[in-house]
Chains A and B, each alone.
Chain A
Amino acid sequence: KAGVTQTPRYLIKTRGQQVTLSCSPISGHRSVSWYQQTPGQGLQFLFEYFSETQRNKGNFPGRFSGRQFSNSRSEMNVSTLELGDSALYLCASSSTPDRAGELFFGEGSRLTVL
C-alpha cells in the first residue's frame, strides 16, 4: 500500500508570493491533517479535514488555508509568504478521525522563503 505522498518535496519562494502544497493520503484514509515543523516552534498543528470539511484548526493566521477534495486528497495554501513561513510542512492521514492521533505522515514539503 502506498504511503502518504506530498508534492513538491522542496520549493523556494520569495516574500509576498503564495504557495500551494499537495497531499495524497493512504488509499482508504479519509482524514488529512497538516502540521508545520520549524526549529524554533517545533511541530504545530495547522488543520484537519475529513470528508471535505475542516474539523479542527490550529492557531495560524488566515494566510494559511486548506481544502480537501472528494477523493480525500488535500491541498494547503499560504498566501503573502513571510520569511517565518520557511518550514517543513507535513501532511498526515488516518482512516477516520476516531483513530485519534494514529497518524501516517508523509515525508513533507520543505518550503524556503527568501
Chain B
Amino acid sequence: AQSVTQLDSQVPVFEEAPVELRCNYSSSVSVYLFWYVQYPNQGLQLLLKYLSGSTLVKGINGFEAEFNKSQTSFHLRKPSVHISDTAEYFCAVTAPEYGNKLVFGAGTILRVKS
C-alpha cells in the first residue's frame, strides 16, 4: 500500500519570501511522485513530477522539488513566492504498475501575504 503525508496543513508566508512544502511518502515499490496545485473553484494542475533520473526536478511557475529516497521525502520549494501562488498544493504518489491510480496527501494551503 502507498500513503502520502503532508506535514503542514497551512503555510503562511510573506510575498517574495522562500517557501518549502513538505511531503513524505510510504511505498513498498518504486514510486512516481507528483505535486499538483488547486486554485479556488478549479481542478488540479500538475506542477512537477519525478519519474526517474535526476532527483531535483523543476516545474512550472518557478517551483522545484527534490526526491530523497533515504528519507522518503519529496519536498516542494520556491525561492520567492508571489501573491498569485496562494492555493492548495497536493503531493501524490503512484507506481508504474498502478497507472493513474494516484494516492494524494491531505493538501497544504499556501497563503502568501503582502
Is B99 part of the contact surface with A, judged by Cβ < 8 Å? Answer: yes
**What's the Cα separation between A60 and B97 when bound, in Å?**
20
Q: Which residues of A contact B44 (CB under 8 A)?
A: 43, 90, 92, 103, 105
Q: Which residues of A contact B54 (CB under 8 A)?
A: none
| Contact A42-B49, Cβ < 8 Å, known A48-B101, A56-B101, A92-B100 | no
Q: Mark A73-108, 1 if CB is under 8 A from B, else 0.
A: 000000000000000001010100100111111111
Q: From A42, A44, A90, A97, give the contact of B100 (CB < 8 A).
A: A97
Chain B: minimal CB distance from A61 (Å):
17
* Cβ A103 vs Cβ B46 within 8 A: yes
* Cβ A94 vs Cβ B100 within 8 A: yes
Q: Mark B75-114, 1 if CB is under 8 A from A, else 0.
A: 0000000000000001010111011111111110000000
Is A21 part of the contact surface with B, judged by Cβ < 8 Å? Answer: no
Is B25 part of the contact surface with A, judged by Cβ < 8 Å? Answer: no
Is A55 part of the contact surface with B, judged by Cβ < 8 Å? Answer: yes
| Contact A43-B32, Cβ < 8 Å, known A100-B98, A101-B92, A101-B94 | no
Number of residues in B with C-beta < 8 Å to the partner?
26
Binding site of A, secondary structure by majority: helix, strand, loop or mixed? strand
* Cβ B98 vs Cβ A56 within 8 A: yes
**What's the Cα separation between A101 and B94 when bound, in Å?**
7
Q: From A44, A94, A100, A107, give the contact of B43 (CB < 8 A).
A: A107
Q: A residues bordering B, Cβ < 8 Å?
A: 4, 31, 33, 35, 42-45, 48, 55-56, 58, 90, 92, 94, 97, 100-108
Pairs A–B under 8 Å by Cβ, sample size 20: A31-B99, A42-B104, A42-B106, A43-B107, A44-B104, A45-B103, A56-B99, A56-B100, A56-B101, A58-B101, A100-B32, A100-B98, A101-B34, A101-B100, A102-B34, A102-B49, A103-B100, A103-B102, A107-B41, A107-B42
